């Protein structure tokens, strides 16, 4: 599909349709677009709701709508060709085959995407959890950071989404939500550290944004 058609579709979907709906009816407060750096980045976020990905795509600067890709589980979002096509057109997803599937190398796939210049949205909790509770993180982001030391890791904490539209419920109930965008995480020594330590650093950065002390 031509690039400008894709951009037009996404500007319409996110800026003209979803963003006013999410901010006026649901009550999501969007962060300033200037908080997102212009360089290649990975947005590392907590995950409580289907609203998460959509509201992040509404937050990023318009010109980034083509090169920021949420990573989605292939077994859930690419069940059939139509669904996969719609996800790619509207959500700009890259698909990840989760562990346990034949021939799955999720980290290598994501690494390839980063090497080709794409920015990613990752949810290291792996799946949607209970509202305002940060589950343990998978090590994927840390491994990606070790392999690509120059990439910016941007911690993001979203509050309220899991109450506006929790897992297992298709109805949206208005609830004020906040999106906290943190400073890019810089750790030049990441490659020398154990993976779990880097993961913990990233998790701490998100926990700090949530304002909660470590549990």
Partner 1 sequence: MNLQSITSFAEFLSPPVINVMGIMLGLLFVITLSFWIARALKGEGKLINELLTRTYSWWYILIGFCVTIFFSRLLATVAIAFLSFVAFRELTSRLDLRLADRRALLWCYLAIPFQFMTAYIAWYGMFLIFIPVIMFIGLNMVNVASGNTKGITTSMGVIHWSAMLTIFSLSHLAYMLSLPELANFEAGNGGIILWLVLITALNDVFQFTWGKTLGRTKIMPTVSPNKTLEGFLGGLVTTTFLGYLLHFLLPVGPMKAAILAGFLSFTGFMGDVTISAVKRDLGIKDMGSSIPGHGGIMDRIDSLAFNSMVCFHLVRYWSYLE
Residues that bind partner 1 (CB under 8 A): 27, 29, 131, 160, 163, 166, 169, 171, 173-176
For partner 1, give the closer residue by CB, 106 or 160: 160
Q: Minimum Å distance from CB 125 to partner 1? A: 18
Q: Minimum Å distance from CB 23 to partner 1? A: 11
- Tell me whether residue 82 is exposed, middle or buried, using C-beta atoms within 10 angstroms of its C-beta: 0 to 12, 13 to 18, 19 or more: exposed
Tell me how long the chain is: 215
For partner 1, give the closer residue by CB, 23 or 40: 23
CA–CA gap between residue 76 and residue 72 (Å, rounded): 8
CA–CA gap between residue 144 and residue 113 (Å, rounded): 11
Q: Minimum Å distance from CB 162 to partner 1? A: 8
Q: Minimum Å distance from CB 164 to partner 1? A: 9
Q: What is the dihedral of CA 30, 205, 155, 108, to 10 degrees?
A: -160
For partner 1, give the closer residue by CB, 1 or 171: 171
């Amino acid at each position: 599909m031509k690039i400008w058609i894709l951009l037009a579709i996404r500007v319409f979907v996110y800026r003209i349709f979803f963003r006013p709906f999410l901010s006026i009816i649901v009550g999501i407060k969007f962060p300033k677009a200037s908080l997102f750096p212009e360089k290649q980045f990975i947005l590392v976020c907590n995950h409580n709701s289907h609203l998460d990905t959509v509201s992040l795509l509404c937050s990023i600067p318009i010109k980034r709508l083509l090169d920021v890709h949420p990573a989605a589980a292939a077994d859930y979002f690419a069940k059939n060709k139509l669904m996969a096509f719609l996800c790619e057109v509207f959500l700009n997803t890259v698909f990840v085959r989760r562990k346990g599937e034949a021939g799955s190398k999720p980290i290598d796939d994501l690494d390839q995407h980063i090497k080709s210049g794409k920015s990613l949205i990752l949810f290291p909790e792996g799946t949607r959890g209970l509202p305002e509770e940060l589950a343990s993180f998978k090590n994927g982001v840390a491994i990606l950071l070790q392999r690509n030391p120059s990439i910016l890791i941007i911690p993001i904490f979203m509050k309220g989404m899991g109450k506006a539209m929790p897992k297992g419920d298709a109805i949206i109930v208005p609830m004020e939500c906040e999106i906290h965008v943190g400073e890019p995480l810089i750790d030049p020594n990441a490659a020398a550290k154990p993976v779990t330590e880097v993961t913990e650093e990233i998790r701490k950065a998100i926990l700090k944004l949530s304002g909660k002390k470590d549990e």
